[in-house]
Amino acid sequence: MFPQTRLRRLRYHPVVRDLVRETELSPSDFILPLFVRPGTNIKKEIASMPGNYQLSVDRLIDEVGAAMKLGVRAFLFFGIPSGKDAQGSTAWQEDGIVQKALRALRPAFKDSLLITDECFCEYTDHGHCGILCEQGGRMDVDNDATLPNLARQCVSHAQAGADIVAPSGMMDGMVSAIRAGLDAAGCTHIPIMSYAAKYASGFYGPFRDAAESPPSFGDRSCYQMDPANSNEALREVALDIEEGADIIMVKPALSYLDIIRRVKDRFAMPTAAYNVSGEFAMVKAAAQKGWIDERRVTMEILTSIKRAGADMILTYHALDAAKWLR
């Protein structure tokens, strides 16, 4: 009999394994989401997201500084405002919470990339991602009435120091409305990272505690995508690219690796994947129980997201992973 050994030859020597590895992670792949709230000296751990905090601006500066030292230089900001109303008007106030954070961080960290999440669910008293209306006897989010507010929010963030705006509300036409608003305000250099294929997912559970943004009634199925759909994601992404999106996102990541791959293959665009709160919480919870090896599982997950086609990963594991990559 001839020996059958063939593919295993390249797995025998650890240095060969390193040479033939197809996917390599680096701290520069990561974007760390951060939650900023009013007050001073506040660092309140989010119960379902160990190692993640609601931070006042002063403590946020420390957190960003620590991340930069680990090589994580890109951040996504969510605001927990002091006041909410039906429109979410605290989202575009010049002295809003995210605007304050940006004005403090911008001069302190010149080499950092400050990305702002653009949505209203943290700012509206009803917790939906835009202005409400009634449609055929049902409550809905008024798509077109929400667009000018989104543009105002983005311009306000850009003027406060944001480098990239990332609309997450899944309104149709949001990218073109924001592009027009930014351009009119002289912010032609600010890219748009669009949450293009964002699913109505149960995996956002812990985030809604973190951002204090759960909908007070109903869910987000009339604006976010049905988890059962894949072709529709391609239509979402195509439309956002046509409207001027510079980076497109698939969210969540793990249950949607097939979507990441299809989107990357079809459009060959800079592609982001959001490894969301519930995905993070599951790993942390199982690790705390000793049921999985946290480091190994985390790195496997992040590698798989990149292997699926993501160029960048928004992840709450960013600091842990950056430490492990040193």
The CA-to-CA distance between both ends of the chain, in Å, stands at 46
Under the binding rule (CB under 6 A), the answer on residue 34 touching ligand PBG is no
Regarding 276 and contact with ligand PBG (CB under 6 A), the answer is: yes
Identify which range of 97-105, 113-121, 145-153, 300-308 contacts ligand PBG by CB under 6 A. 113-121
Residue number with CB closer to ligand PBG (56 or 116): 116
- Does 129 engage in binding with ligand PBG (CB under 6 A)? yes
196 φ/ψ sector (left φ>0, alpha ψ -120 to 50, else beta): alpha
Q: How far is the CB of 13 from ligand PBG (least distance, A)?
A: 40
Give the pair of three-digit tokens for residue 236: 């979402």
Contact 165, 217 (CB under 8 A): no
Concerning whether 198 is annotated as a catalytic residue, the answer is yes
Q: Which stretch binds ligand PBG (CB under 6 A): 4-12, 16-24, 96-104, 115-123?
A: 115-123
Cα dihedral sign for 47, 53, 56, 59?
Answer: positive
Q: How far apart are CA 204 and CA 221, in angstroms?
A: 13
Per CB under 6 A, does 277 bind ligand PBG? Answer: yes
Site for ligand PBG in 169-228 (CB under 6 A): 169, 204, 207-208, 220
183/200 with CB nearer ligand PBG: 200
Per the CB < 8 A criterion, the answer to whether 299 and 326 are in contact is no
Choice from 168, 194, 271, 315 touching ligand PBG (CB under 6 A): 168
Q: Closest CB to ligand PBG among 1 and 228? A: 228
From 84, 100, 198, 264, active-site residue: 198
For ligand PBG, give the closer residue by CB, 156 or 315.
315
For ligand PBG, the closer CB: 183 or 286:
286
> Shortest gap between Cβ of 130 and ligand PBG (angstroms)?
10
Under the binding rule (CB under 6 A), the answer on residue 77 touching ligand PBG is no
Nearest residue (CB) to ligand PBG, 99 versus 275: 275
Residue from 35, 53, 77, 117 touching ligand PBG (CB under 6 A): that is: 117
Q: Please count the other Cβ atoms lying within 10 Å of the Cβ belonging to residue 169.
A: 25
CA 217 to chain centre: 24
How many other CB atoms are found less than 10 A from the CB of residue 134?
9
The answer to whether 194 touches 169, Cβ cutoff 8 Å, is: no
Using the rule CB under 6 A, is 46 a contact of ligand PBG? no
Asked if 298 interacts with ligand PBG (CB under 6 A), we say no
Query: Which of 223, 224, 236, 308 lies closest to 265, judged by CA?
Result: 308
Contact between 253 and ligand PBG (CB under 6 A)? no
What is the binding site for ligand PBG (CB under 6 A)?
117, 119, 121, 129, 168-169, 204, 207-208, 220, 276-277
Just list the catalytic residues: 198, 251
